[in-house]
Amino acid sequence: MAQYATARTDAAVSTVVRRLRCPEGESLARRLLAAVAADELPPAAERRSADGDPFDRYGLLPAAFGALRVVRRRLGFDVPSLSAAAETLAVDPNAAAAAERSLVSRLSPPADEDERARLDREIRAAREAFDAVEFAAEPAADSHAGVGRHSAGTSDPVAERRAHLRRLEADRSMASLGFVLYELARDDASEPAARPRSDADRA
């Protein structure tokens, strides 16, 4: 039954992506709908009596469209307008909007813009520091070819800077996606990393 439900939700997301020609976020939107179908993500307590199953209540295609909008917004990509639902998908945009609200109620919110901007600044600084350390390490590596650069018990500044940068990038992804959606995306290597949003991305 779970595999059948996942096949249906996957097919619905693929249909939305194909018709709207917006592939970024497809994999995570599939994962989100599959988690809802498996009852892994119950709605917030104040919405449980109103929401029910978003697929039965609003329809599978509106739910898939809502999932893609949620994911693309948090990843920082352009968000298809609700009017696209009526024009291209032939579904009620009000149903799509309601399904999207139901999905959002099951997720933790993203960090605010100030926090995301702070992380962006830290990532830029960390990348510059990593590049500088890596550049400084290259001559030493060339002059000691074949010899281990770091003996046991000594630190590798390049590895340390790389690890620090990766931690910041993970924090930035969590800040954009929110904890619940970030956890769904962690094992999904095909999903693009979240990028900073512009005013044009808001919908």
Among positive and negative, which fits the CA dihedral 11, 13, 16, 18?
negative
User: What is the C-alpha separation between 199 and 3, in angstroms, rounded?
Assistant: 39
- The mean per-residue pLDDT over the stretch 113-122 comes to 96
Residue 199: exposure state from Cβ atoms within 10 A (0-12, 13-18, ≥19) = exposed
* Predicted pLDDT of residue 199: 39
* Predicted pLDDT of residue 197: 47
pLDDT 10s digits, 31-69 = 999 999 988 888 765 455 455 678 888 999 999 999 999
CA angle centred on 58, ends 174 and 109, rounded to 5°: 20
* Predicted pLDDT of residue 156: 84
pLDDT 10s digits, 64-103 = 999 999 999 999 999 999 998 888 999 999 999 999 999 9
User: What is the C-alpha separation between 203 and 188, in angstroms, rounded?
Assistant: 25
* Predicted pLDDT of residue 43: 76
* Predicted pLDDT of residue 200: 37
- The mean per-residue pLDDT over the stretch 9-28 comes to 96
Q: Is 150 helix (H, G, I), strand (E, B) or coil?
A: coil
Nearest CA among 112, 22, 27, 81 for reference residue 202:
81
pTM to 2 decimals?
0.78
- The mean per-residue pLDDT over the stretch 171-177 comes to 95
User: What is the C-alpha separation between 127 and 121, in angstroms, rounded?
Assistant: 10
